[in-house]
Amino acid sequence: TWTTGNVIEEQVAAIRAQVGTKRAICGLSGGVDSAVAAALVQKAIGDQLTCVYVDHGLMRKGETEQVEKDFVAATGVQLKVVDAQERFLSALAGVSDPETKRKIIGREFIRVFEQAQAEIVAEAGAEGEDVAFLVQGTLYPDVVESGGGTGTANIKSHHNVGGLPEDLEFELVEPLRQLFKDEVRMVGAELGLPDEIVQRQPFPGPGLGIRIVGEVSKERLDLLREADAIAREELSAAGLDREIWQCPVVLLADVRSVGVQGDGRTYGHPIVLRPVSSEDAMTADWSRLPYDVLGKISTRITNEVDDVNRVVLDITSKPPGTIEWE
Ligand code: XMP
């Protein structure tokens, strides 16, 4: 019979058999899959696992701390955090084309991750240990989508910043290959991961970088992080987290409109709310959120976030609109 306990027991045994006494690396993205995969491998081989988290500065408020503190506290995992915020900001400077932004973020991510990986391999080597395994949070639907092949490190690279190049000398450890998303969440909960990680809604690998329509800058990221935090806080407070699939909050950085606040006219940016309902993100509908919740989010964002004087609601289904704006 299928129980989370059985799955964990089976996978722990399989991971131990596969990895033996060698060492493994796992990239953490802040998402559910990599977190649960890492927690399972940690349970199986303990300190033979090192996790890497690349802080690209494009995460939402509190998310990096969630990985650095809560995840580490819950699992006891060895974590290497690479602060690459400056590097991503300079690589993105002056770029507003969406595809170019995605490519730059993906490319920089791989470079930073590979560098961290090389450092871990070198450190282990100095102690006479061999790092031979790479942990990936590949799920059953990913396996099916990619034709059922085994061992390619590249399955999600198109969609996931966590996707890695193919020419790796590592063998893959993929403890979630037989699981669906809801099962992964159950396994994560059973392993003691906090709800904020296990129940996290989808969030794109390129992060807030593709939710700023226009150039990405530190100031714009900070502004969007504040607006997004308010929207998430109010949606949670209204008990709507499970009802919506996700709610991108988008900054129209190249648009300004006239407003009035206090005794003066303002010339600020609009923030777009994009709450959607979906089964699988392939198609989606805009969520009919209660007006009072929308009103509260709007009031708070325009009051609390500098330089934002308008909040608008995206009421487009997918298709024709994608969930993200870029
Ligand atoms: P779209 O915008 O294509 O998004 O309707 C569909 C789903 O995919 C997420 N998304 C991404 N996830 N890396 C990811 O891991 C990405 O580059 C990426 N782009 C979009 C999006 O949030 C939605 O859930």
- The response to whether 30 counts as a known ligand-binding position is yes
DSSP E strand stretches across 214-287: 249-252, 257-261, 264-273, 276-277, 285-286
The whole-angstrom separation of Cα 211 and Cα 178 is: 32
32 in a labelled binding site: yes
> What burial letters (b/e) apply to 105-133, b meaning 16+ CB within 10 Å?
bbebbbebbeebbeebbeebeeeeeebbb
Q: Tell me how far apart the alpha carbons of residues 237 and 134 are, in angstroms, rounded to a whole number.
A: 38
Please tell me whether 216 is known to bind a ligand. Answer: no
User: Nearest C-alpha to atom 19 of ligand 1 is from which residue?
Assistant: 204
284 Cα nearest atom in ligand 1: 5
Strand partners, 58: none
Are the beta carbons of 80 and 116 closer than 8 angstroms? Answer: yes
Q: Residue 232: in which H helix or E strand, if any? A: helix 218-237
Query: Torsion angle of alpha carbons 316, 318, 320, 322, nearest 10°?
Result: 90
Which of 323, 325, 326 to mutate to test ligand 1, by most ligand atoms within 8 A of the CB atom? 323
- Please tell me the distance from the alpha carbon of residue 299 to that of residue 305, in angstroms, as a whole number: 10
pLDDT score, position 1: 84
SS3 content of the chain, % helix, strand, coil (to 5): 45, 20, 40
What pLDDT is attached to residue 148? 59
Q: Is residue 324 in contact with ligand 1, taking CB distance under 6 Å?
A: yes
Q: Residue 167's pLDDT is what?
A: 55
Residue 153 is predicted with a pLDDT of: 40
CA 14/CA 27 separation, integer angstroms: 20
3-state SS string for 31-82: CHHHHHHHHHHHHHHHHHEEEEEEECCCCCCCHHHHHHHHHHHHHCCEEEEE
For residue 61 and ligand 1, the question of a CB distance below 6 A is answered with no
pLDDT at 145: 79
Measure the CA–CA gap between 167 and 250, rounded to whole angstroms.
36
- In the chain, which residues fall in CATH 3.30.300.10? 211-313
Expressed in angstroms and rounded, the spacing between residue 157 Cα and the centre of ligand 1 is 12
CB 206 within 8 A of CB 58: yes
Secondary-structure class of domain 211-313 per CATH: alpha beta
Q: What is the 3-state secondary structure (H, E, C) of 146-188?
A: CCCCCCCCCCCCCCCCCCCCCCCCCEEECCCCCCCHHHHHHHH
Check if CATH label 3.90.1280.20 holds for domain 4-198: no
- In the chain, ranges of CATH 3.40.50.620 domains: 4-198
318 touches ligand 1 (CB under 6 Å): yes
Say if ligand 1 is within 6 A of residue 159 CB: yes
What letter does residue 246 receive in the DSSP assignment?
B
Q: Is 202 in the pocket of ligand 1 (CB under 6 A)?
A: yes
Is 34 annotated as a binding-site member?
A: yes
**Measured from the CA of 278, which atom of ligand 1 is nearest?**
24
Report the separation in Å between the CA atom of 302 and the middle of ligand 1, taken as the mean of its atom positions: 27
Local structure of 215: helix, strand or coil: coil
pTM over 0.90: yes
- Judged on CB neighbours under 10 Å (0-12, 13-18, 19+), 242 is exposed
Residue whose Cα lies nearest atom 3 of ligand 1: it is 322
- pLDDT tens digits for the chain (326 residues)? 899 999 999 999 999 999 999 999 999 999 999 999 999 999 999 999 999 999 999 999 999 999 999 999 999 999 999 999 999 999 999 999 999 999 999 999 999 999 999 999 999 999 999 999 999 999 999 998 777 555 434 333 344 444 455 555 899 999 999 999 999 999 999 999 999 999 999 999 999 999 999 999 999 999 999 999 999 999 999 999 999 999 999 999 999 999 998 889 999 999 999 999 999 999 999 999 999 999 999 999 999 999 999 999 999 999 999 999 99
Distance from CA of residue 114 to its chain's centroid?
19
Interval between CA 274 and ligand 1 midpoint (Å): 13
- How much distance in Å is there from the Cα of 159 to the middle of ligand 1? 7
CB atoms within 10 A of CB 188: 26
Site to substitute for ligand 1 among 28, 159, 249, 278, most atoms within 8 A of C-beta: 159
Residue located nearest, by CA, to atom 24 of ligand 1: 202
Tell whether ligand 1 has an atom less than 6 A from the beta carbon of residue 40.
Answer: no
